[in-house]
Amino acid sequence: MKNKEFKEIIKFINYLDSLSEDDWKMIEKGDLVIEYTLTPKSPNSNASKSNVIEEFNGSEVIQRLESMHDKDKGKVYLESLNLRKVQYEKILKELDSPFDKKDNIARLISKIIEATIGFRLRSQAIQGTTD
């Protein structure tokens, strides 16, 4: 097995690990299906990149993160999405969270985690409550 193939398998396992208990219950019931497809890279994939980025909706990612209770699992989930920098920036814009254009992807992911999971955990700690 090649190193690149192994990395893809690890990403998939990390994604599965990031699923919540509710997700697993829905999978067991048959309400959710896990799909993993292999698609060949097209020679003119650059032409469609701008359309994909414009069509990207970060609200689904935000909802998923807000349902998580662990920053590490949130980070694994975000990394498994393999988004582009502009897509992470779009998520931060939807969260109304500041960022610099100089921020790298790792820093953007960290800011997204803090604006979603970290924010809720801090709030619960201050209030003395847990979900």
pLDDT mean by block of 10 residues, the chain; 131 residues: 71 77 83 71 53 67 89 90 90 92 93 91 83 61
Q: Do residues 99 and 111 touch, judged by C-beta distance below 8 A?
A: yes
Q: Do residues 90 and 58 touch, judged by C-beta distance below 8 A?
A: yes
Q: Where are the alpha helices (DSSP H) in the chain?
A: 3-18, 21-29, 45-55, 59-66, 71-80, 85-94, 105-113, 119-127
> What's residue 46's pLDDT?
52
Angle, helix 105-113 to helix 71-80, in steps of 10 degrees: 140
Among residues 74, 55, 60, the alpha carbon closest in space to that of 116 is found at 74
> What's residue 128's pLDDT?
84
Q: How far is CA 91 from CA 4, 63, 81, 94, 95, in A?
A: 28, 11, 13, 5, 6
d(CA 91, CA 95): 6
For residue 95, how many other CB atoms are within 10 A of its CB? 20
Domain that holds residue 98: 3-127
> What's residue 56's pLDDT?
72
The total domain count for the chain is 1
> What's residue 52's pLDDT?
46
